A and B are shown apart, each in its own frame.
Chain A
């Protein structure tokens, strides 16, 4: 039974996306945090050196004869040299005027006597880290404020930062890849157990309604226990309906058999033609109703079995032979010969009960519609595909109806007076379709019908 199941999302995908997404967020966070921390440390290092440079310049500032004199050592600036050839700028201000250095260097807004203040400014089109410090110099009747600013471009710093970033990015990507692998491994082991359970249930035969006893993870226990109880209920109701059908058939058929036997006995005792005719009609009606009941049940059974198709190797030749033994007594009553020819080893895979029922219907039909003392030929062959062909010497099919005869309750118009339910060929066709085969009806040139069930 292939029911359409509504699928909304997948647990596996949801879990995988969550795990992989989480790993990605973690990797990015790691990158940002480590990079920022590295940037802060690198900046602090640069600040330390520029600060030292500013201090050493400011320390060299003295008041001599009422004039500010800054004679700072060469080392004050050379300490700032880097492998990236960063440029260094300085400016010394006395009160508001520049007394030395770049007068275009942005002036730091700094209070008097402040020790080392850092900022990043844009100078000459590039970012420059600027350290400033100020001190008030006091001479005789002289008081002045000196500010020293030293700036340095940040090429070395960004070089270092880029290097760190690259490493952190590689590390983050590695972490992400590893986490993704672990995520997939975790999801597949988790859902592997679910898959194993599904396979165990799918592999069961149509009639296997035993509870699942394989050990399962605790999370699946509620699902499996409700599945088990559902199967138990299904089994119970199948048993009940099987018993019901058996019981119903028994209850209906037994009184019918009584009536039929009585009717036959009475028929032998009455002489008047109208009574005899009535009794014959009665027997015929009993046959018709029991046949219809039987075929309706068969039809229901076939619908059920076709949905849960059994797969066994069937030897069509052996099956036909077995059927012929059973049907020979009926054929003999009309002196009909059942001839079987076999060509090759016709084997099919499927439900032997269904195939037997279909073949029985075909031969039954041939027996019903054949004249006395005729021959019915049943040929079993595997060329071109496995098939059974039943040919009789009856009146054949009405060519106008031949395409419709397999429809439910459809009977030929040329069969008046012969008991039938109109379900026989429907059953055969259903069985053919369930096995991927087909039913072909045709008339022989020499007269008589030929019905082929091919697989």
Chain B
């Protein structure tokens, strides 16, 4: 997906960009409001991540202007405030969601997906591999005329595997992807979800192969 990140703290922006690129996203970074306006007018973005406190103005004024310009790119606000009233006022101004810094990128992904799902209509997120069509936003898998709804962890697992078919993903990578940092999970926990995905992918040209000691890989006949 293409993101526009509006954030004045360069260190944080760099950190967020490299973390998001890891998930295969394209991120443009605007440091100031004026750049943000310029970017959003010229580029096509799936989502805008907006910091509220910026050197040349309040992010909220960008939100207002953004909404007045009738651009319907969804906006998720990154806020460093925890005051509930502030969150509410941000939503009132037309942000689609907010997330409080510091945040879990898995949660950011989840929020992006939820926002995009609510906005609907953006069908271009569908990834095709073999005879499988995967829509991470809708959270489903289409094999022929069969539509399978995926649970969230199955979805996140497949999202990672399908991002680089033919590449072996070690179990640790998959665990990082699926479980929050709060939980201490054993490496075997991921096997449950691999098993479920395999079941969903039965009767398709796509399969997940185990490479003992190395990890898992998505292949197709």
Q: Is the CB of A284 within 8 A of B182?
A: yes
B53: chain A residues within 8 A (beta carbon): 250
Using A253-B80, A334-B180 as known contacts, list a sample of 17 further A-B pairs with CB atoms less than 8 Å apart, ordered by residue number in A. A246-B86, A249-B80, A255-B12, A257-B101, A257-B103, A276-B172, A280-B181, A283-B181, A284-B181, A287-B102, A287-B104, A330-B107, A332-B110, A333-B106, A333-B180, A335-B152, A373-B151
25 A–B contact pairs at CB < 8 A?
A249-B80, A250-B80, A250-B81, A254-B12, A257-B12, A257-B15, A257-B78, A258-B102, A259-B15, A261-B102, A264-B19, A265-B18, A268-B173, A271-B170, A284-B181, A294-B82, A298-B82, A298-B84, A329-B97, A329-B107, A334-B153, A356-B84, A368-B182, A417-B183, A417-B184
Q: Is the CB of B80 within 8 A of A271?
A: no
Does B16 have its Cβ within 8 Å of any Cβ on chain A?
Answer: yes
Q: Is the CB of A417 within 8 A of B103?
A: no
Q: B residues engaging A (CB < 8 A)?
A: 9, 11-12, 15-16, 18-19, 22, 53, 78, 80-86, 88, 97, 100-107, 110-111, 113-114, 151-153, 170, 172-173, 176, 180-184
Chain A, interface residues (CB within 8 Å), range: 35 or more
Contact A258 to B15, CB < 8 A, known contacts A253-B102, A276-B172, A280-B181: yes
Q: Is the CB of A249 within 8 A of B84?
A: no
* Cα(A246)–Cα(B86), bound, Å: 10
Q: Is the CB of A261 within 8 A of B22?
A: no
A290: chain B residues within 8 A (beta carbon): 100-102
* Cα(A285)–Cα(B76), bound, Å: 25
Q: Which residue of A lies closest to B155 (CB)?
A: A332
- Nearest CB on A from B117, distance (A): 10
- Nearest CB on B from A249, distance (A): 5
Does A297 have its Cβ within 8 Å of any Cβ on chain B?
Answer: yes
* Cα(A353)–Cα(B85), bound, Å: 7
A250: chain B residues within 8 A (beta carbon): 53, 80-81
Q: Is the CB of B152 within 8 A of A264?
A: no
* Cα(A210)–Cα(B201), bound, Å: 66
A249: chain B residues within 8 A (beta carbon): 80-82
Does A117 have its Cβ within 8 Å of any Cβ on chain B?
Answer: no
Does A260 have its Cβ within 8 Å of any Cβ on chain B?
Answer: yes
Give residues of chain A (82-110) contacting chain B, Cβ–Cβ below 8 Å: none
Q: Which residue of B lies closest to A417 (CB)?
A: B184
Q: Which residue of A lies closest to B82 (CB)?
A: A294
A417: chain B residues within 8 A (beta carbon): 182-184
Q: Which residue of A lies closest to B53 (CB)?
A: A250
Q: Is the CB of A333 within 8 A of B110?
A: yes
Does A309 have its Cβ within 8 Å of any Cβ on chain B?
Answer: no
Q: Which residue of B lies closest to A252 (CB)?
A: B80
Contact A265 to B19, CB < 8 A, known contacts A287-B102, A368-B182, A418-B182: yes
Does A326 have its Cβ within 8 Å of any Cβ on chain B?
Answer: yes
Indicate which residue in B105, B111, B113, B176 contacts A261 across the interface (CB closer than 8 Å): B105
- Nearest CB on B from A203, distance (A): 23
B83: chain A residues within 8 A (beta carbon): 245-246, 297, 301
Q: Which residue of A lies closest to B189 (CB)?
A: A372
B176: chain A residues within 8 A (beta carbon): 264, 267-268
* Cα(A105)–Cα(B184), bound, Å: 128
Q: Is the CB of B16 within 8 A of A261?
A: yes
* Cα(A252)–Cα(B82), bound, Å: 12
Q: Is the CB of B103 within 8 A of A260?
A: yes
Candidate in A259, A260, A293, A357 with the most chain B CB atoms within 10 angstroms? A260
Q: Which residue of A lies closest to B21 (CB)?
A: A265
Indicate which residue in A252, A262, A297, A335 contacts B15 across the interface (CB closer than 8 Å): A262
Q: Which residue of B lies closest to A420 (CB)?
A: B182
B19: chain A residues within 8 A (beta carbon): 261-262, 264-265
Q: Which residue of A lies closest to B177 (CB)?
A: A268
Q: Is the CB of A254 within 8 A of B182?
A: no
Q: Is the CB of B15 within 8 A of A333?
A: no
Candidate in B97, B105, B181 with the most chain A CB atoms within 10 angstroms? B181
Indicate which residue in B12, B86, B181 contacts A287 across the interface (CB closer than 8 Å): B181
* Cα(A276)–Cα(B80), bound, Å: 27
Does A314 have its Cβ within 8 Å of any Cβ on chain B?
Answer: no
Q: Is the CB of A328 within 8 A of B80?
A: no
B82: chain A residues within 8 A (beta carbon): 249, 293-294, 297-298
B18: chain A residues within 8 A (beta carbon): 261-262, 265
- Nearest CB on A from B70, distance (A): 23
Give residues of chain A (411-441) contacting chain B, Cβ–Cβ below 8 Å: 417-419
* Cα(A360)–Cα(B102), bound, Å: 18
Q: Which residue of A lies closest to B111 (CB)?
A: A329
Top 7 nearest A-B pairs (CB, nearest first) are A261-B15, A257-B102, A329-B110, A257-B101, A294-B82, A253-B80, A250-B80
- Nearest CB on B from A357, distance (A): 5
Q: Is the CB of B105 within 8 A of A333?
A: no
Does A286 have its Cβ within 8 Å of any Cβ on chain B?
Answer: yes
B16: chain A residues within 8 A (beta carbon): 257, 261
* Cα(A368)–Cα(B180), bound, Å: 10
Q: Which residue of A lies closest to B108 (CB)?
A: A329
* Cα(A67)–Cα(B124), bound, Å: 160
Give residues of chain A (282-309) contacting chain B, Cβ–Cβ below 8 Å: 283-284, 286-287, 290, 293-294, 297-298, 301
- Nearest CB on B from A269, distance (A): 9
Does A183 have its Cβ within 8 Å of any Cβ on chain B?
Answer: no
- Nearest CB on B from A13, distance (A): 45
* Cα(A293)–Cα(B81), bound, Å: 11
B110: chain A residues within 8 A (beta carbon): 329-330, 332-333
